């Protein structure tokens, strides 16, 4: 592990030597392949919203592009930060200004070695700069990975036979919907086994060989583009994969701030606090009073014709269900159970009959199995310094 401390000049022109020195460290010393953090007073914002008066004043952005390009060259990026939004104050009551000019940057190796690490900017006390404390929690919060169906399994010779030999909904007692959910759950173990036995080792070998070539390709596109890293994503270079890991590290919730200002740490405490928060936001389930048909008839003057009533009440057909499944768009995110439409299409000759029966039951009884009526809420930070649950945007996946 290497920690580099920075105290930069105020003038933009004088900072060129700093960027060059960091580039030399990255290219000619072992820091590039080991955990490396660069901390300190850079006297420079990296984006305009790091200035408290960006909406009222013409913010001086000179030096911002040079710094971002230098960070790109050095292959370091901002660590996830908690605490204060700004790190410097001018202490002028008549014209108060705050900026984020103190930064904590890390490289890819740091993320891999300390996945739960983050920087916390504390109250400045006597100084006009906020001290930065790097926290490296012991617990890496390695939760078991949920099942996810990988499309390449479809091309394996054992895929259809695995599905066929493990698909036996008649051995499950319950409704058609319960049988379908249970059968899909039983199948996960063997599908996961196909991927682990036949692709995981191959993936590691191929990835090692690919990295050698990708590193050279990375240098080529890097020198040619000189733009933000994510703009290279379409080329599927090493830049893209690095930025994905960086974004994951920055979106990781290390701690939450409660209403009383106290910090909530630890995965179990964070889960409990989040559940309580959204239970209060969403409120308790409300029982809607029933309404008689006669009341509805008085409220709604429109009447369907006999032909329309017959068409609406007509049972859903197998052809409609099948056509709907095969018209669903591909390459979409998996559901909470880990399966996607590619799995259904590839194994329809085996699982299709049971899917159809489960859908028909839904239309007949208007009831959906609880396991089918769930979703995943993903918390997207509204700001890089998000710490309370109000700072996150819940997205249903």
Residue 94, domain member (yes or no):
yes
* Residue-level pLDDT at 230: 42
The predicted model gives 273-292 an average pLDDT of 82
Residue 81, domain member (yes or no):
yes
251, two tokens: 């979106």
Q: How confident is the model at residue 6 (pLDDT cuts 50, 70, 90)?
A: very high
Residue 292, domain member (yes or no):
no
From CA 324, how far away is CA 363, in angstroms rounded?
Answer: 15
Dihedral angle over CA of 384, 338, 335, 330, nearest 10: 100
* Residue-level pLDDT at 231: 44
Residue 130 buriedness (CB in 10 A; 0-12 / 13-18 / 19+): buried
Strand, coil or helix: 205: helix
From CA 222, how far away is CA 237, in angstroms rounded?
Answer: 10
The distance from CA 80 to its chain's CA centroid, rounded to whole angstroms, is 14
Rg (the chain; Cα; Å): 28
Contact 387, 257 (CB under 8 A): yes
- The CATH number of the domain holding residue 46 is 3.60.10.10
The predicted model gives 385-389 an average pLDDT of 81
Task: Give start and end residues of each alpha helix (H) in the chain.
Answer: 16-28, 64-74, 108-113, 159-166, 176-195, 201-225, 238-251, 267-282, 293-299, 306-313, 318-327, 341-346, 348-365
pLDDT digits (tens, 9 = 90+) for 329-352: 988 888 889 999 999 999 999 999
Contact 274, 255 (CB under 8 A): no
Residue 18, domain member (yes or no):
yes
**Taking the alpha carbons of 227, 84, 16, 27 in that order, is the dihedral positive or negative?**
negative
Task: Look over the chain and give the mean of its residue pLDDT values, rounded to a whole number.
Answer: 83
From CA 256, how far away is CA 265, in angstroms rounded?
Answer: 7
From CA 13, how far away is CA 62, in angstroms rounded?
Answer: 10
**Structure letter (DSSP) for residue 129:** B
* Bridge partners, 396 (sequence order): 377
From CA 196, how far away is CA 26, in angstroms rounded?
Answer: 36
Residue 67, domain member (yes or no):
yes
* Residue-level pLDDT at 206: 63
Dihedral angle over CA of 319, 320, 324, 326, nearest 10: 10
Interior/surface letters 60-93, b for 16+ CB within 10 angstroms, e for the rest: eeebbeebeebbbbbbbbbbbbbbbbbbbbeeee
37, two tokens: 């953090």
Q: Structurally, how many domains does the chain consist of?
A: 1
Residue 71, domain member (yes or no):
yes
From CA 333, how far away is CA 339, in angstroms rounded?
Answer: 9
Residue 332, domain member (yes or no):
no
pLDDT digits (tens, 9 = 90+) for 59-92: 888 889 999 999 988 989 988 888 888 999 988 8
148, two tokens: 């996810």
Count CB neighbours of 273 within 10 A: 15
Residue 222, domain member (yes or no):
no
From CA 74, how far away is CA 201, in angstroms rounded?
Answer: 32
- Tell me the pTM: 0.59
pLDDT digits (tens, 9 = 90+) for 137-192: 765 555 677 888 988 889 899 999 999 999 999 999 999 999 999 999 999 999 99
More confident call, 88 vs 279: 88
Domain coverage including residue 27 = 2-140
């Amino acid at each position: 592990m290497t920690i580099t401390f920075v105290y930069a000049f105020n003038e933009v022109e004088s900072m060129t030597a700093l960027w060059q020195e960091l580039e030399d460290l990255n290219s000619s010393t072992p820091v590039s392949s080991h955990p490396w953090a660069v901390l300190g007073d850079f006297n420079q914002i990296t984006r305009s919203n790091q200035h408290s008066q960006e909406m009222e004043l013409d913010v001086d952005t000179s030096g911002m592009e040079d710094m971002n390009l230098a960070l790109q060259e050095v292959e370091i990026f901002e660590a996830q930060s908690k605490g204060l939004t700004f790190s410097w104050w001018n202490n002028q009551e008549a014209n108060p200004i705050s900026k984020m000019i103190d930064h904590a940057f890390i490289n890819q190796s740091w993320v891999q070695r300390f996945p739960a690490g983050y920087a916390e900017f504390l109250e400045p006390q006597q100084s006009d700069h906020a001290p930065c404390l790097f926290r490296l929690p012991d617990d890496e919060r390695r939760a078991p990975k949920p099942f996810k169906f990988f499309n390449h399994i479809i091309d394996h010779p054992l895929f259809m036979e695995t599905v066929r030999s493990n698909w036996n909904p008649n051995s499950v007692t319950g409704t058609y919907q319960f049988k379908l959910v249970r059968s899909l759950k039983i199948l996960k173990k063997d599908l996961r086994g196909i991927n682990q036995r036949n692709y995981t080792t191959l993936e590691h070998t191929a990835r090692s060989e690919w990295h050698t070539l990708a590193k050279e390709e990375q240098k080529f596109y890097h020198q040619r583009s000189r733009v933000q890293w994510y703009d290279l994503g379409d080329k599927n270079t090493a830049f893209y994969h690095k930025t994905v890991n960086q974004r994951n590290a920055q979106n990781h919730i290390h701690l939450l701030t409660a209403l009383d200002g106290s910090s909530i740490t630890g995965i179990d405490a964070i889960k409990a606090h989040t559940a309580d928060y959204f239970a209060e936001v969403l409120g308790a389930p409300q029982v809607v009073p029933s309404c008689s048909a006669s009341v509805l008839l008085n409220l709604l003057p429109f009447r369907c014709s006999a032909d329309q009533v017959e068409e609406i009440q007509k049972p859903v057909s197998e052809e409609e269900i099948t056509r709907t499944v095969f018209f669903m768009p591909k390459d979409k995110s998996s559901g909470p159970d880990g399966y996607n439409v590619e799995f259904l299409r590839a194994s329809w000759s085996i699982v299709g009959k049971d899917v159809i029966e489960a859908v028909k039951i839904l239309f007949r009884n208007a009831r959906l199995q609880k396991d089918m009526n769930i979703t995943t809420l993903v918390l997207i930070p509204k700001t890089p310094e998000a710490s309370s649950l109000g700072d996150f945007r819940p997205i249903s996946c």
